[in-house]
């Protein structure tokens, strides 16, 4: 009697029983096992913060962003000889662009909307009052 199991699940196997008399219309035997499978704990990934690009419509922010970007790219152009390959140059360019965007435009702040509207709260209070005083409704 042999039982095939992947080595990954070897420590999960607790008990195995063979039912020799089971009628399964085959020359194989029926096995019932008790296993305990350990699941991985999932971690939540941090959501990417969104950039507030609506500020670019404002001429003040637009001018400031262009100024920041040009200043940072000028300093990057001076350091052009320091990069060994294109990947390093691209990483530096991307970093400069993201830093200037975050500095001038900032991130979109989440809206704190009410979970229940005022109409819903009003209906809940009416329902509670009707429950307390059933004759007054």
Residue 51 to residue 49: CA distance in whole angstroms: 7
Contact (CB, 8 A) for 34 and 17: no
Domain segments of the chain: what residues? 1-37, 53-104
Q: Cβ of 105: how many Cβ atoms within 10 Å?
A: 20
pLDDT band at 123 (very low <50, low <70, confident <90, very high): very high
pLDDT band at 137 (very low <50, low <70, confident <90, very high): low
Taking only the tens place, the pLDDT of each residue in 59-117 is 998 999 889 888 888 887 777 777 788 888 888 888 888 888 888 888 888 777 778 88
Contact (CB, 8 A) for 72 and 96: yes
pLDDT band at 122 (very low <50, low <70, confident <90, very high): very high
Residue 63 to residue 130: CA distance in whole angstroms: 60
Output the six-digit token pair for 115: 């979970």
């Amino acid at each position: 009697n042999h039982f095939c199991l992947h080595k990954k699940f070897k420590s999960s196997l607790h008990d195995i029983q063979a039912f020799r008399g089971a009628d399964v219309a085959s020359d194989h035997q029926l096995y019932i096992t008790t296993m305990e499978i350990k699941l991985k704990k999932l971690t939540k990934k941090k959501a990417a913060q969104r950039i507030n690009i609506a500020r670019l419509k404002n001429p003040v922010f637009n001018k400031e962003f262009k100024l920041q970007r040009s200043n940072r790219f000028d300093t990057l152009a001076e350091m052009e000889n320091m990069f060994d390959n294109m990947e390093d140059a691209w990483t530096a360019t991307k970093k400069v662009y993201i830093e200037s965007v975050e500095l001038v435009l900032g991130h979109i702040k989440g809206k704190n909307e009410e979970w229940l509207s005022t109409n819903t709260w009003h209906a809940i209070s009416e329902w509670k009052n009707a429950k307390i005083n059933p004759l007054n409704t």
